[in-house]
């Protein structure tokens, strides 16, 4: 049975209203309609189906990372910092590679602030 895939089914064909932050031939970056976490949150996905980071090919990874870099540059300018996060294996609920860029209250804290 095919796994549900919100990105291929609705986001990339733009069947739902998402706030597009950056779009290239191969990559889409957008703010989701319901913010996932943080006070600002952008999701970056390849437009063609790639299951996870483990299946990502070098040609596409360069494009994907370039968009992540552009998005994060904006986040650092606007918020002072951000996190980039992706999930794999049992931790990955939507089986289409997606990278979260998030900033502000509600993001995971890997180290405590003083």
Decide whether 20 or 76 has the Cβ nearer to Zn ion: 20
Q: What is the Cα–Cα distance from 57 to 8, expressed in whole angstroms?
A: 18
Q: Does residue 5 interact with Zn ion by CB under 5 A?
A: yes
Given candidates 6, 8, 26, 85, which one binds Zn ion under the rule CB under 5 A?
8
Decide whether 22 or 49 has the Cβ nearer to Zn ion: 49
Say if residues 25 and 48 touch (Cβ distance below 8 Å).
no
Q: Does residue 56 interact with Zn ion by CB under 5 A?
A: no
CB of 93 to Zn ion, least distance (A): 13
What distances in angstroms separate CA 6 from CA 45, 64, 73, 94, one per listed residue?
11, 18, 26, 7
Given candidates 41, 96, 98, 100, which one binds Zn ion under the rule CB under 5 A?
96
Q: Does residue 49 interact with Zn ion by CB under 5 A?
A: yes
CB of 97 to Zn ion, least distance (A): 8
Secondary structure (DSSP) of 5-74: -HIIIIITTT-S--EEEEE-SSEEEEE-SS--SSSEEEEEEESS---SGGG--HHHHHHHHHHHHHHHHH
Decide whether 13 or 81 has the Cβ nearer to Zn ion: 13
- Where on the chain is the footprint of Zn ion (CB under 5 A)? 5, 7-8, 49, 96
């Amino acid at each position: 049975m095919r796994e549900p895939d919100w990105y291929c089914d609705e986001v990339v064909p733009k069947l739902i209203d998402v706030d597009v932050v950056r779009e290239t031939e191969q990559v889409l970056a957008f703010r989701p309609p319901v913010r996932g976490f943080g006070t600002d949150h952008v999701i970056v996905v390849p437009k063609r189906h790639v299951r996870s980071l483990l299946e990502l090919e070098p040609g596409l990874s360069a494009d994907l990372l370039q968009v992540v870099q552009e998005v994060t540059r904006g986040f650092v300018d606007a918020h002072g910092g951000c996190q980039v996060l992706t999930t794999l294996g049992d931790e990955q609920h939507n089986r289409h590679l997606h990278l979260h860029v998030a900033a502000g209250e509600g993001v995971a804290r890997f180290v405590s602030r003083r």
